[in-house]
Copies of this chain bind each other. A is one copy, B any other.
Amino acid sequence: MSHGHWGKMLRVNLTEGSIKVEELSDEWLRMYVGGWGFIGYYLLKEVPAGIDPLSPENLLIYATGPVTAQPLAGGGRHMIGGKSPLTGGFAGSEAGGFFGAELKRAGWDMIIFEGAAPSPVYLYINEDHVELLPAEDLWGLETADAEQKIREAHGDRFVRVSQIGAAGENQARIANVIHDSNRAAGRTGMGALMGSKKLRAVAVRGTQRPPTADEQKISELGRWFRDNYKETGSGVFSTLGTNRMVRVNNEAGGLPTRNFQEGVFEGYDKIDAETLLDTITIKRDTCFGCPVRCKWVVQVEDEEYPVDPKYGGPEYETTASMGCLLGIDDLRVIAYANQLCNAYGLDTIGAGMTIAWAMECFEKGLISSDDTGGLELTFGNGDALIAMIKQIAHREGFGDLLAEGSKRAALAIGNDAIDYTVQIKGQDLAMHDPRVKYGHGLGIAVSPTGADHMHSAHDSAYQTEGGIADLRSVGVVKPLPWDDLSADKAAMMRQVMMRRVIYNLTGVCMFHAWTPQQETDMVAAATGWDTSVMELWLAAERAYDMARAFNAREGFGADDDLLPKRLFEPLSEGAVAGKVYTREQFIAARDAFYGMMGWDENGAPTRAKLENLGLGWVADLLESDD
C-alpha cells in the first residue's frame, strides 16, 4: 500500500451491474499521481478512438489525488473525467466541497464507470460496502431533493452525493455534476456523460483517515496555513470571495458583457461582491478542511424568484455569466438562475454563454421569436434567461438546441452564427477576457479541455517580482506585463499552467497560496515519497501530454487551438479600448508554446517528449492509430 493513496479503485460495469476492486501499484501511483493523470491514463488505455462520447463505450472516471482528504486547506478536491460530449476530446472537471474527501475517506482513490445501465441507478459506497441501487425514484428530481432522499434512504445525513440533475438526465451537453447541491464539476459536459450511463448519483460515506507518511508535517502545514493565509493570495478570497473579480475585471476593461461584445458593464456595481454581500448573502460556506471560507450562501424571499440557501450562491463565474454577460444587473435574477442551474445540474458558464450567443443572434436577426417559441431573447431580459435555463435542462423547445452548446447550435443555425460564438473546441469561455490578459488566451487555446478557466492561468497575476517570487522555483524567470504575447510569455504560461496541473493532480484547490515547495512538502508528507517540485512538475507535463495525445488521436490539430474571431477584435470602451493582439502574434506565441512543450506543429506531443516522460506507450498508441 502506498501512503497518500489507498492503492485501490472501483471498477463499476453499469451494463452488467458488476463491481470490481482493482489495485493501483505504488509505481503507477507515483507516475500518474492523481486527478488528470489517472483519467488520462485510463482514457488512452481503454477508450477506443472515435467513439461517441455518449455511447456506453465511454468511461466516466472519478479520481482523487494524494492530498485529497488530508486535513489541509484546499485538500478536498476530486476530478471527474471521460471523453467530452461537448468537445469530443479529453474531459476533466474538478469540484470542491466534501465529496472528494469523503470518497477517499471511504477507502477509494478512484472509480471507473463503464458501460451504461439499462435503467437509472446510483452507486452507494459505505467504506467497503459498495452497491448499485435503483434510481428510478430519483430520476427527474431536483438535486437537493434527490440528495435528501438518498440520505434518508440510508438513514445517514452525512452521506455525500455527487449527482446529475435534469440537464444530465437529458444529456444536455452543457450539463454538469453537482455535489452537496451546490458544488459543480462544471465544464466539459460531464453531466451528459453521466446521464448517458443512466447513473444518477454516487453517494459516499467514509470515515477513515487516508494512510499518511508524516502526520506531523501535515499538521505543521495545516497550522502554517491557518496562521498565515490572510497575508497570502488566499486572503482576498476570504474577504471578498470570487465575486471580487466583477469589480477587478470591470476596471481592467475585460468584464464579459453582452457576449464579450463589451468589457465594461454599466451595471457592474449592482452585481459586485460588495453589493452581493450587503444584500442577499446570509452566510459563508467552505470546503473540506478549509479556513478560507470563500463561498457565499444567498437567500431571496421573493415570490417570482425565491432562492433557497441550500443551493449555495453565485460565484464570480455565475454572477458574470448570468449577469453582465447577458446585460442583466439584477442579483435576484442571477441568484435564481444559479439555483436553477444547481437544481438541474447545468453548467452556469456554458448555459450563460450559450444563451448570450443566442441573444446576440436574436438581436442581429439570425434567430427570431418564431425560433424561440415567442421568447424575446434580448440582452437584459431576465425572464427569458430563466425560461431558457428550464428549457435547456429539459431539452424543451428552443432549449433543445441550446442544450447542444453554442458551437453545435451555431452550426445548426448557419449563416455567420458561428462568428458570434466565443468558444474553443466547442467549450465556451469562462468569464475571463484574454484581451485583458494575453497569456490567458494562449492558455485556454491550448487547453485540451477547450476554453476552460481551470486549465489555463492568469498572466496578469505575474506582472511583478512579488507575483512571480514563488514561481522562480518552477522556472518562471521574470515578471511580464499582461499585454505581452512574446515567446517569453509563452514560456511563463507553460510553467504556470503546469503548476496548475500540479494542483489538480494532487487534489488541492488552486485558490490556496501554497508555494510550490509547500505543495511538494504536502505530497511528500502524505505519500512518503522523497519527491520534489520537479518530479511533480514532470507528472503535470505527463498528464497534460496524455490529454493532448488523446485529442490528437481524436483528430484535433493546430486549428483547434485558436481563439474565436471575437477575441481578435478590440473592445471599444474601457481600459483596453482599441487594443488587442493580432492573429499573427497569437499564432506565433502558440507555436512557440508548442515547441516549448515538445509538441509537433499540429500540437501533438512528439515521441521524444513522450518517451522522456516514460510515456513511450502513448507514442506507440498514436502511431498505431495513424
CA distance A615 to B27 in the complex (A): 35
Roughly how many angstroms separate A477 CA and B598 CA in the complex, as a whole number? 19
In the complex, which residue of chain B has the Cβ closest to the Cβ of A529?
A: B472
Using A595-B598, A595-B606 as known contacts, say yes or no to A611 and B531 having CB atoms under 8 A apart. no
* Cα–Cα distance between A475 and B612 once the two chains are bound (Å): 9
A30 interfacial by beta-carbon distance below 8 Å: yes
Are B530 and A533 in contact, with the CB atoms below 8 A? no
Query: Do B491 and A614 have beta carbons less than 8 Å apart?
Result: yes
Is A397's beta carbon under 8 Å from chain B?
A: no
Q: Does A608 contact B (CB under 8 A)?
A: yes
Question: Which listed residue (B517, B532, B608) contacts A473, Cβ 8 A?
Answer: B532
Instruction: List which A586-615 residues lie within 8 A (CB) of chain B.
Output: 592, 594-596, 598, 606-609, 611-614
* Residue of A470, A487, A531, A534 contacting most chain B CB atoms (<10 Å): A534
Contact present for B607 and A595 (CB under 8 Å): yes
A596 with B614: CB separation less than 8 A: no
Known contacts being A535-B475, A608-B592, is A616 close to B530, with CB within 8 Å?
Answer: no
Asked if residues A611 and B532 are in contact (CB atoms below 8 Å), the reply is: no
Taking a contact as CB atoms closer than 8 A, the residue among B473, B488, B530, B611 that contacts A535 in the complex is B473
Across the interface, do A611 and B596 meet the contact criterion of CB distance under 8 Å?
yes
Chain A residues 518 to 553 lying within 8 A of chain B, measured CB to CB, are 520, 529-535, 537-538
Q: Is A132 an interface residue (CB 8 A)?
A: no
* Cα of A474 to Cα of B535 in the assembled complex, Å: 6
Q: Does A478 contact B (CB under 8 A)?
A: yes
Q: Which residues of B contact A494 (CB under 8 A)?
A: 612
Q: Residue A515 contacts which of B515, B520, B530, B538 (CB distance < 8 angstroms)?
A: B530
From A27, which residue of chain B is reached at the shortest CB distance? B478
A28 → chain B, closest Cβ, in Å? 11
In the complex, what residues of B have CB within 8 A of residue A520's CB?
532
Which residues of A (452-483) have their CB < 8 Å from a CB of B? Answer: 469-470, 472-475, 477-478
How long is the Cα–Cα vector from A474 to B612 in the complex, in angstroms?
A: 12
Chain B residues lying within 8 Å of A478, measured Cβ to Cβ, are 27, 614
A490 within 8 A of B: yes
- A516 contacts B by Cβ under 8 Å: yes
The yes or no answer to A178 lying at the interface (CB within 8 A) is no
| A14 proximal to B (CB < 8 A) | no
CB-based nearest B residue for A474: B534
Q: Give the residues from 546 to 576 in chain A that come closer than 8 angstroms, CB to CB, to chain B.
A: none
A31 on the B face (CB < 8 A):
yes
- In the bound complex, how far is the Cα of B478 from the Cα of A30, in angstroms? 11
Which of B487, B515, B534, B592 makes the CB contact (< 8 A) with A534? B534
Whether A612 lies near B472 (C-beta < 8 A) is no
**Quick check: B530 and A532 within 8 Å, CB to CB?**
no
Contact B614 A488, beta carbon cutoff 8 Å: yes
Knowing A592-B608, A609-B595, A611-B592 are in contact, say whether A472-B516 is a contact too (CB < 8 A).
no
In the complex, how many angstroms separate the beta carbon of A80 from the nearest chain B beta carbon? 27
Contact call A517/B532, Cβ cutoff below 8 A = yes
Contact residues, A377-418 vs B (CB, 8 A): none
Enumerate A6-47 residues with CB–CB distance to B below 8 Å. 27, 30-31
Which of B487, B530, B538 is the one whose CB lies under 8 Å from A517?
B530
Contact with B along A483-526 (1 / 0, CB 8 A): 00001101100100000000000000000000111001000000
Most buried by B among A470, A535, A596, A612: A612
Residue on B nearest A491 in the bound complex, by CB:
B612
Task: State whether A616 and B488 are in contact (beta carbons under 8 Å apart), knowing that A595-B609, A608-B595 are contacts in the complex.
Answer: yes
Asked if B472 and A531 make an inter-chain contact with CB atoms under 8 angstroms apart, the answer reads yes
Chain B residue at smallest Cβ distance from A472 = B535
Return the contact of A516 from the options B27, B532, B606, B612 (Cβ within 8 A): B532
Q: How far is the CA of A400 from the CA of B216 in the complex (A)?
A: 68
Find out whether the CB atom of A477 lies under 8 angstroms from the CB atom of B596.
no
A616, B491: Cα distance in complex, Å: 11
**B534 and A475: CB pair below 8 A?**
yes
Which residues of chain B are near A30, meaning CB under 8 Å? 472
Please indicate the chain B residues that have their CB under 8 angstroms from the CB of A538 in the complex: 475
Residues of chain B contacted by A491 (CB below 8 angstroms): 611-614
4 more A-B residue pairs beyond the given contacts A494-B612, A595-B606, A595-B608, with a C-beta to C-beta distance below 8 A: A490-B611, A490-B612, A517-B532, A594-B608
29 A-B pairs within 8 Å (CB atoms) are namely: A30-B472, A469-B530, A470-B530, A472-B530, A472-B531, A472-B535, A473-B532, A473-B534, A473-B535, A474-B532, A478-B614, A487-B607, A487-B608, A487-B611, A488-B614, A490-B612, A491-B612, A491-B613, A494-B612, A516-B532, A517-B530, A533-B533, A534-B537, A594-B608, A595-B608, A595-B611, A596-B598, A596-B609, A596-B612
